Amino acid sequence: MTDLSAQIQQAVQAGKLRESSAKNIALLLGARPHPVAHASVTELVNSGAWSELDDRFYKTLAFGTGGLRGRTIGKIITNAERGTPQALERPEFSCVGTNAMNAFNISRATQGLVAHLRDWMKTSGLPGRPKLVVAHDTRFFSREFAELTARVATENGCDVCLFEGPRSTPQLSFSVREQNAQGGVVITASHNPPHDNGFKVYFGDGAQVVEPHASGIIARVNAITSDAYEPLPADQRGQITILGGDNDEAYMDRLATLVLDPAVIRAASDLRIVFTSIHGTGGTIIQPMLRRLGFAFTTVPEQEEQDSRFPTVQSPNPENAEALSRAIALAQADGADLVIATDPDCDRMGVAVRTRSGKMELFTGNQIGSLMAAYRIGKLSEQGVLTPANAARCVVIKTLVTTDLQKAIAERHGLRCVETLTGFKYIGEKLGKYEAALPENIRASYRTLPEADTRTARLAHSSYYVCGGEESYGYSAADFVRDKDGNGAAVVFAEVAAHAKARGLTLGELLDEVYADYGYYSEKNGSLTFEGAEGAAKIQRLVDSYAAHPPATAEDSPVSGVRNFAREDFVDVEGDPIPKENMLMVDLADGRRFAVRPSGTEPKIKFYLYAKRLPQEGVHFTPEQLAAAKGEVQSSLEALWQWIQADVQTRLSSTSA
């Protein structure tokens, strides 16, 4: 036994290091020793950084339904990882560990994904090699990981289309379809902190993988314990094609079709927009799109720098007021009506709007999505595209934890509102179902048909997707992208803003019209963060506690119903089974409800709170009634959130060892 091994075993025996961590350290160092890996582990052992070693090695980073996500820079950066100084203060080497985003896990993931694609093509009787589209955002190590993915894929017999530089997640989704690829990978951790990165997987329909492919890929990846492999002979390897400007133009041509009424934009020529990509990929497409469509806009210069540190914000998350503070300050100085912000991989979009008093106010994801739905349904009805005769073939899709206001809007106009689990992959799966319902002769050329023709086909033979999204600032309004699309959302919401401007309304006043008509719906989202191995255990204890002992009362209201989506069977409005998920929905007798679920991508447990006040049937709220409803609902949601936080502490105390 080496001195290093002896020290590790002594730490396990002393209770300083988990046994699983010791096993994974031996796995990593024994599989294919790398000088940086050995030096980093040695340095952490010698300094007694057992907690850091546990975080890095207590498990092998599991490949889940969305791929991989984890730290690519450790809480402690070893001297070996720091290496030669790099730009933007980046370590030379990514975080060493089996539970980290690094070359070890990127190689494993790519090997398993390509093996599954090859198996699937063989089973399906499809000729040739599989093709994979690979994109990446602006994060630390993203380009290196994308190039590594391309190399491993080609050496294992897969053709690769690799973007020339950073591109958004929705453009990856579009490009998988446009290139007729069998799969896609985007290297991103969305709006996570700068130290994180991820490996997100798509199938040939452009959507994130769902069953049965999810289980097949997961099994393949998790069975691979080493980053080592034997490359195929040169004549059996794949080829790399670089994607650039031509692909950008093809994507923007489709995005332009999201505008329903160009005259609305022309009528609001004095609309002023401030856009920020928060150091991410959004400016690549959104800026030329806004110019093409005739919108007047300015940007936040320092945030247009593609900087992996996201140095001007605490978090590059467009739902946070702090992330939009510089854009809001610029909007105040310039008198702009609207701020649009996207996260680093541009799948999410947040906005701030000017009020009648002149202040800038943030909208929630629920409010943004509801305005989009109300405008698009109203405009398509006005244009005669949506009619009483075809409304039953039209659909709005939202997640179960997204506001019921969107459901009320859709159903008032005779549209279906389909509710899915959290995750745009389920919305993408529905869009795939609607495409599969088209006649075979239309399906054969569907991806190349003009957007107006695809709409006609869906209205005649299948279901026409009007729009949809998630409360977590993800939206879409077409099926040529099968994921949430910050680029498309910027186009759609800019048209909504033009509509309000042309009518002499602020966006807040336009939203109040919706509330007055359909009722005041409000939501409050909360989350509690528990990091590392100990944090993961706390989250699991809470999940188990809620499942075994759901509350009987909440904030002085009796509980009228509990739905456990992990243990019970549910179907959606179309009769399709809803997959199992660790989510509990609690309905209160006073009309409020809340949902609780662990995050699939962050070390958090999330809570979603809901309340509403409805006008009497057939009448609208008066301004005074709406103001009163807002006050009542907000107070009730805040009281419920305070109760939930206290209840969490009680549950953790009662389940502690």
Q: Which residues are catalytic?
A: 190
The strand pair at 240-243 and 604-613 is best described as unpaired
Phi, psi of 598 (to 5 degrees): -75, 145
CA–CA separation, 64 vs 222, rounded Å? 9
CA–CA separation, 494 vs 340, rounded Å? 9
What is 586-620 written as a DSSP string?
EEETTS-EEEEEE-SSSSEEEEEEEEEE-PPTT--
Q: Rounded to an integer, what is the distance from CA 615 to the centroid of its chain?
A: 34
Using alpha carbons, select from 327, 335, 328 the residue that is nearest to residue 283: 327
CA–CA separation, 281 vs 553, rounded Å? 46
CA–CA separation, 214 vs 410, rounded Å? 31
Q: If DSSP codes are grouped into helix, strand and coil, which group holds residue 582? A: coil
The strand pair at 553-554 and 593-598 is best described as unpaired
Using alpha carbons, select from 356, 358, 314, 350 the residue that is nearest to residue 334: 358
Using alpha carbons, select from 546, 537, 522, 631 the residue that is nearest to residue 595: 546
- To the nearest 5 percent, what fractions of the chain are helix, strand and coil? 45, 20, 35
For residue 378, the surrounding DSSP H or E stretch is helix 365-382
Using alpha carbons, select from 488, 498, 495, 494 the residue that is nearest to residue 253: 488
Q: Rounded to an integer, what is the distance from CA 447 to the centroid of its chain?
A: 24
Beta bridge partners, 297, equal: 273
Longest dimension (CA), the chain: 81
CA–CA separation, 286 vs 250, rounded Å? 14
CA–CA separation, 289 vs 305, rounded Å? 19
For residue 651, the surrounding DSSP H or E stretch is helix 623-655
Using alpha carbons, select from 324, 298, 328 the residue that is nearest to residue 312: 324
Cβ atoms of 346 and 168 closer than 8 Å: yes
Length of the chain: 657
- CA quadruple 493, 311, 105, 165: dihedral sign: positive
Q: If DSSP codes are grouped into helix, strand and coil, which group holds residue 71? A: strand
What does the DSSP 8-state code read for residue 281? Answer: S
What is 177-220 written as a DSSP string?
HHTT-SEEEEE--TTS-TTEEEEEEEETTSSBP-TTHHHHHHHH
Whole-number CA gyration radius for the chain: 25
Neighbours of 530 (CB within 10 A): 18
Cβ atoms of 134 and 185 closer than 8 Å: yes
